[in-house]
Structure 1
Amino acid sequence: MGTGKRGLITAAVTVVLAVTVLAAPGTAFAAPDPGPSPSASTSPAPSTSPAPAPNKDLEAVRKKLDSLYRAAAVATEEYNAAEEKAKQQSAEIARLEKKIAEGREKLAELKDRAGAAARAQYRTGGLPPEAHLMLSDDPQEFLDGTRRVRQGQHAAKGLLGEMTRTQEDLEQYAKDATAQWKKLEAGRKAKATAQKKIEKQIAAAEKLESELAKQERERLAELEREAAQRAQTAWLDSGVLDEITGKATEQGKKAVQYATAQLGKSYQWGAEGPRTYDCSGLTSQAWASAGRGIPRTSQEQWKRLKHIAVQDMRPGDLIIYFDDASHVALYIGDGSIVHAPRPGRTVTIAGAGSMPILGVVRPDA
């Protein structure tokens, strides 16, 4: 998926992705004003609303960042889908071009054969074979010639029919190729649109983070960890892990080994390794390493792979997150996943319940 990607900021921080409403980037949040000094006037001050607590301000920032990065994740999967279609369309165009080339060669050969037949008739004075037979005085020659004429007529008819079919095939191939080119062009536009969305959301998130002081960024990272831990704890408290006892298949083990070997590598939208990954790039390559090709995007993985109940999942299965199936991770067992979280983060291990689960799919069902 390589072309057109942009380098993004990196930081070794654990994943946080939470469902929130998309909001525009805001300004930096200031600490509450200090109280009046002893020398200040004791006259009543005008009534004002109390400033929000710093943690409350940072929680709002966290939610806003989550929404921006979630929007970027959705656009990333749109980009990946457009890229995948472009690959398929390019392959189809190449196939059609090969068919057209073969058809032209065949048509040229058929025309040569038709030309040879025409030249042979010219050498006989332009009389058709039937006329030559009528002029024959030998009855046996007449009967033998009649069979040859019938064979010749059948061959000529077959030649003309084959030429017609070949010409029709060429016209259809050309129409199909034109249609694929139009789809390819539409896909390029879709990719460009998705890329703009991605860059816009990431730029807004980076701007918002850049407006925070160092201490605020550290506290923000702590709030992200706390939010993920709360979600994971709630998931574990449901008792679901007690029901998950499935064992990995050999292919599943290979997929897990591949994914965990990528720990610490940076997230990059549209990337599928080997140095950087996005979420579905990591899962698709993990299963490719195990000898099983799966769809490239999280949405297609959700649509086309077999759905499995959460309590039946086993290491190697894919957990799809959020209502729009915009994020995916690989389950590694013991209630944990490995995934590529978002821009500014690295491939990491996290709790399987740290994000809203849409469902589970099995590549090697």
Structure 2
Amino acid sequence: MNRRRCAAAAITVVCAVTLLAVPSQAFAAPSAPLAPAAPSAPGAPEPPVPAKKTLEEIRLELEGLYARAASATDAYNLAEERAKKQSAEIVKLAQEIVRGQDRIADLKDRAGAAARAQYRGGGLPPEAQLMLTDDPQLFLDGASRFTQGQKATKDLIAELEQTQEDLTAYTKEASAQWSKLEANRVRQAKSKKEINEQIDAAKKIESQLEKKERERLLKLEQEAAYRAQTAWLNSGVLKGAKGSASEQGRKAIAFATAQIGKPYVWGAEGPGSYDCSGLTSQAWAAAGRAIPRTSQEQWRLLPRIDIKDMRPGDLIIYHTDASHVGMYVGDGAIVHAPRPGRHVTLAGAGSMVILGVVRPDK
């Protein structure tokens, strides 16, 4: 049995043992409703009884909340990256504006020096001074200098005009970049609000569960992931997949797996915590390859690979909006930062809905 089959079988056995090891009498069945609310005071009208949600329904609700938080996190990260680039561009433009202003001041000084020299010559223009000389050689020498002076004056004026045009363009571009920067700051604030709302809503739901219900909820998440991974492997999607990691890929994997156990924090890029794309982008940066910061930009800009050609180090993009990413490490597994409340971990590559695969070092 080859290495991938051995690893897949091992994962299957571990998951099965984990599930069987949970005492069934300690938890409600997956479809069991939550405990009913306390009865109202005697004589008071009975309030309408709200529909009771099963733990499975709560799991799906939490999944939706965290998915929306992930999408908002990607939007926040993208706005932050663009704001950083625009801030850097504004700094460069400001430096160009200062240089342009200094150049204009220098050109004006040179023009002033020429005017003062003419004044010292009696205020006569150079061509009139030439006409008054009786020395033919002096006349020829002066004519040559006059021609050169005329060219220098024209060049000076042309350079001054070009510098002023450049300065106007730099100022206009700086203003445009500032407007974009402000727009991205607004997007960041909106996304941050959306993230916090979704996470707070999820935390509120979880806080209302009893300890045994929270434990069972975690088991339901694991069971759902196990079923999805098993179906994915049984589909034969990895049949014949024998790609090996590149040298850079091995470095990226080594970095990513070294982060296992660190908490997920949205917007984080390490070293103490990560979000999903923060982990993958930093892992590839450690391997010497700069890639886009967000999962959506990684999906949009990096070369796409067929799953059958996937190799360790490639990035698997998840969900229809490309809001999650994990790094494939081989044997049907990924390393990823799952969501708030979880830590960087290994998981089945097929445990979530796969959108596609990209390769940073193609």
TM-score normalised according to structure 2 size: 0.86
Match of 2:360 among 339, 346, 363: 363
* 1:76-155 matches, cutoff 5 A: 76-155=73-152
Decide which of 197, 214, 219 is 1:217's aligned counterpart: 214
Name the aligned partner's letter for residue 271 of structure 2. Answer: P
- CA apart distance, 1:240: 1.5
Structure 1 residue 32: deviation in Å?
7.5
Instruction: Report what 2:333 is aligned to.
Output: 336
Q: Residue in 2 aligned with 1:256?
A: 253
More helix by share: 2
Q: Does 1:191 align with 2:188?
A: yes
TM-aligned CA deviation for residue 60 of structure 1: 0.1
Identity within the alignment, % = 66
Query: Does the CA-based 8 Å contact 2:34-2:55 persist in structure 1?
Result: no
| Aligned residue number for residue 203 of structure 2 | 206
Give the corresponding residue for 2:9.
none
Separation in 2, partners of 1:286, 1:341: 16
The alignment status of 1:345 with 2:337, answered yes or no, reads: no
Where relative contact order (Cα < 8 A, 6+ residues apart) is larger, the structure is 1
Q: CA deviation at 1:105?
A: 1.1
Q: Given the two structures, how large is their TM-score scaled by the length of structure 1?
A: 0.86
Deviations, residues 311-337 of structure 1 (Å, cap 9, x unaligned): 101110000000100000000000000
CA distance in 2 between partners of 1:304 and 1:239 (Å): 28
**Partners of 1:203 and 1:32 in 2: CA distance:** 23
The answer for the alignment partner of 1:233 in structure 2 is 230
Determine the C-alpha separation between the residues in 2 that align with 1:282 and 1:88: 21
Q: Using the alignment, how far apart are the partners of 1:120 and 1:102 within structure 2?
A: 27
1:274-331 deviations in whole A, cap 9, x for unaligned? 0000000000000000000000000100011000000101110000000100000000
Residue 34 of structure 2 aligns with an amino acid whose one-letter code is A
Deviation track 1:189-209 (CA, whole Å, cap 9, x = no partner) reads 000000000000000000000
The residue identity in structure 2 corresponding to 1:30 is L
Q: In structure 1, how many angstroms separate the alpha carbons of the residues matched to 2:215 and 2:191?
A: 31
Q: Residue type matched to 1:343 in 2?
A: P
Equivalent residues in 2 for 1:163-182, closer than 5 Å: 163-182=160-179
Distance 2:97 2:270 in 1: 36
Shift of 1:243: 2.3
Q: Deviations over 1:97-131 (max 9, x none)?
A: 11011111111111111111011001001111101
Q: Distance in 2 between matches of 1:30 and 1:78?
A: 35
Query: What residue in structure 2 maps to residue 60 of structure 1?
Result: 57
The structural deviation recorded for 1:31 is 3.9
* Range 241-250 or range 296-305, more displaced: 241-250
SS in 2 for 1:242: coil
Q: Matched residue of 2:355: which SS?
A: strand
Q: CA deviation at 1:237?
A: 0.3
- The answer as to whether partners of 2:252 and 2:313 remain within 8 angstroms in 1 is yes
- Match status 1:30 vs 2:27: no
AA matched with 1:262: Q
Unaligned runs of 5+ in 1: 1-13, 15-27, 34-48
Equivalent AA in structure 1 for residue 200 of structure 2: A
State the shift of 1:244 in Å. 1.5
CA distance in 2, matches of 1:304, 1:185: 25
Q: Whole-Å Cα distance in 2 between the matches of residues 244 and 266 of structure 1?
A: 32
